[in-house]
A and B are shown apart, each in its own frame.
Chain A
C-alpha cells in the first residue's frame, strides 16, 4: 500500500508544483461566484438569486468544464511517461501496474477533489454569507450534493483519461481522443438522446418516457446534471430533463452510485489493458 501512497503523493505534488491545483481551484471559485451573481441577468437583474437557480446554472456549466479539466489533467499520465521514457524505469521497480494506475488515480483524484471542494466550497461560503444563508440547511444540502457529485464527475473523467492514456502510444493522439470523448459525452450524447426521444415519442408513445431515465445512466455527465436538478421541485417544471427523472427511478443515491460505477469501470479497464501490454 505504501507504494500506492508514494505514487499518489508524487502526482499530487506535481499538481501543486505545476499550479494545476491552484488554477482549477480559482477557476471553480470564480465560476461559482460569477454564476451566482450574474445568473439572474437573463431575468433583468444582477445579484445573488435563489438557491435553485444558482445550483442549476452552476451544474449546467460545470458539466462542461469538469470533464474537460479532468481529461486535460490526466490524459498523459501513462502515455506521457511512456514518451518520456520514465515508464520503462518505473516498471522495472517492484511495483505492479495496478499499483501504478491506482496510485496515480489517488494523486489526480486528490487534485480534482481538493480543487472542487476548496474552489466551490469557498464560493459557497461567500454566496451563503452574502445571501444570509450560512445557517440554511437546504442551501448546504444542495451545495454539498453539488460538490460531492462534481468531485465524482471529475474522478470519472480521470479514470476515462487513464483508459485513453494506456491505449495509445503518443501523447498527441491521447489528447485528440480525450477531446473527442469529451465532445461525445457532453454534447453528442445529449443531442442523440434528444433525437431518439423525439422519434420514439412520435412513434411509440410512452416508451421513451420509461427508457429515458435508464439511458441517462449511460452518460456520467447526465447523471451529474440529474443529481443536481432533482433536488429542486421548482426546477423540475422548467427543465425538460427533470420530467423524466420525476418518475422516481433516479434518486440521488442511484445517481451517486452510478457515478461510482463510472469511476470504477474505466479504471478497471485501464488496469486490465495496461497489464497486458509489453514495454
Chain B
C-alpha cells in the first residue's frame, strides 16, 4: 500500500484566458479524509473533474491511485473511484431503485448491493418512487449511494452535505468515517466550513485556482499564528477592565457589560489563564482556539475579525 490516493504536480488548467487551476501540487495519501475548501469558483469542481479524467490538464500531471485518469487504463481506474457531483441529477422518470441498479450495472457491481446501499442512505421506503418526486436531500442521498457502489478506493464528493438536514449530515459523516476506517480515501469539497473540521483529517484550501494551504488544521493554525480568543465575564456590569496589580497591561476589549475579550498568541495562553483564574471576580471564562473559519479567512485574505457565531458553534 505504497500508492498515494491523489498526486497533483504543478497542475494547471486554463479555460481561455481564465486560470481555473494555477500550479496546484498536492499529495493525498491513501486512507485519509481530506476537505477541499474554497469559495464558489475557487476551482474545487475543476480539480475533481481532473481526477476523473473529464478534464485534461493544460500543464502538470495528475495521478490517481498511482495512475493517470486520462491514460489507457482510465476505465479500470474509474471502477475504483466513486464520484458525487455537485447538485447531482438523475433520470426523472426512473425510480430510485432503477437508477441505482443502472449505475450498478455500469460499474459491473452486483445489483444485490443496491438494496444495502438504499438502506444505508435510508431510501428503502422511497426506492420505488420516481426520482422526479425526490427532495434535494433525497437526491443527494441517492447520489451518495451510487458513489459508494462497488467499494471504491477513492471517493470524490463535491459538496456532499449541501441540501442535507443536520441529522442526515451527521449520518453522512458517520458513514464517511466508517469508510475511511475501511481504508477508503475521501476527498470532499465544501464551501460551508462549519462542521467540516471535525470530520476531516486534513484540509486543502483553494482560492482563485491556487492552492493556498494544505495540511492538518493544527499545522495550518500553527503556521498562521492566529491568536487564541479568551472571553471573560466578571461579576457586576463593569465597563472597564479592573486591572489587578502585577498583571501585565494586556488589551482587554469590552464586548458587553462585564464581558471582556483577550486575544493572545498560543504560547501566551496558559500564562493569561493562570492570571485570570487567580482573580476572584471572574464568573465565567471560555477559550476559543482559532477555528477553520479563522484559518480559512486568513488564507483567503479576509480581514481578521472576532470569531463569528458559526465558528463558536463549530467549536462546541
Contact = CB atoms under 8 A, between A and B. Distances in A.
Note whether A and B form a binding pair: yes
Interface of A: 2-3, 6-7, 10, 14, 17-18, 84-86, 88-96, 278-279
Contact of A92 (B78, B91, B105): B78
Given A6-B106, A94-B78, A279 B83 contact: no
Given A10-B102, A95-B75, A85 B52 contact: no
Contacts of A84: 89, 91-92
Given A86-B91, A88-B54, A89-B146, A94 B85 contact: no
B55 interface: yes
A85 B84 CA distance: 12
B75 A92 contact: no
Interface string B77-101: 1110101010111111100000000
8 interchain residue pairs of minimum CB distance: A85-B89, A279-B54, A92-B83, A94-B79, A6-B105, A94-B78, A93-B106, A94-B75
Interface in B13-61: 49, 52, 54-56
A84 B131 CA distance: 13
A279 B49 contact: yes
A279 B13 CA distance: 13
A132 B49 CA distance: 64
Contacts of A92: 52, 54, 78, 81, 83, 85
A92 B78 CA distance: 7
Contacts of A10: 102
Contacts of B102: 6, 10
Contacts of A6: 102, 105-106
A97 to B, nearest CB: 11
Contacts of B108: 2-3, 94
Nearest to B89: A85
Contact of A85 (B81, B85, B146): B85
Interface residues of B, number: 27
Nearest to A95: B106
Contacts of B89: 84-86, 89
A93 B85 contact: no
| Chain A binding surface SS class | helix
A94 B106 contact: yes
Interface in B95-145: 102-103, 105-108
Contact of A94 (B76, B87, B146): B76
A92 B150 CA distance: 14
Interface of B: 49, 52, 54-56, 75-79, 81, 83, 85, 87-93, 102-103, 105-108, 146
Contacts of B106: 3, 6-7, 90, 93-95
Given A18-B93, A92-B83, A278 B54 contact: yes
A86 B102 CA distance: 12
Contacts of A89: 83, 85, 88-89, 103, 146
A18 B92 CA distance: 12
Contacts of A17: 93
B99 to A, nearest CB: 9
Contacts of A90: 106
A14 B75 contact: no
A186 B62 CA distance: 49
Nearest to A14: B93
Contacts of B77: 94
Contacts of B75: 94-96
Contacts of A86: 89-91
A88 B90 CA distance: 11
A228 B266 CA distance: 88
Given A6-B102, A95-B75, 4 more contacts: A3-B105, A6-B105, A89-B146, A94-B108
Nearest to B158: A88
Nearest to B45: A88
15 contacts: A2-B105, A14-B91, A18-B93, A84-B89, A86-B89, A86-B91, A89-B83, A89-B85, A89-B89, A89-B146, A93-B106, A94-B77, A94-B108, A96-B75, A278-B54
Given A85-B87, A88-B85, A94 B107 contact: yes
Contacts of A85: 85, 87-89
Contacts of A95: 75, 106
Contact of A93 (B56, B78, B88, B90): B78
A185 B78 CA distance: 41
Nearest to B106: A93
A266 to B, nearest CB: 24
A96 B85 CA distance: 19
Given A2-B105, A6-B102, A279-B49, A91 B88 contact: no
Contacts of A3: 105-106, 108
Nearest to B55: A278
B216 to A, nearest CB: 29
B134 to A, nearest CB: 14
Contacts of A96: 75
Given A6-B102, A85-B85, A85-B89, A279 B78 contact: no
A18 B75 CA distance: 32
